[in-house]
Amino acid sequence: MRIGLAYDLKDRVPVNGTHPDDALEEYDSHETVEGIAAAHEAAGHSTARLGGGREFLDDILREKVDLVFNIAEGLGNYRSREAQV
């Protein structure tokens, strides 16, 4: 099975000096994404890294996946941001 990974990386989230110290805690690191991909691949699946936001839209149209494993948090500071993917 080909599994697409949807995620938002900490280093791609815009922050400014007014955000609290833990503003990026829900977002993921490259290591987390690679660890999840490795686990899927160890189980015999192939993976496509789809990212989140507009990147996800472009990639999901290009990649042929059977399932999306979604850990994307969405961007912005509002309640429904996790519904972006």
Taking only the tens place, the pLDDT of each residue in 4-61 is 999 988 666 666 666 666 566 577 888 999 999 999 999 999 999 998 878 888 999 9
pLDDT for position 72: 87
User: Of 57, 58, 33, whose CA–CA distance to 47 is shortest?
Assistant: 33
- The total number of structural domains in the chain stands at 1
Model pTM greater than 0.85? no
Query: Domain residues for 74?
Result: 2-84
The type of residue at 53 is G
What is the rounded distance in angstroms from the CA atom of residue 52 to the CA atom of residue 19? 21
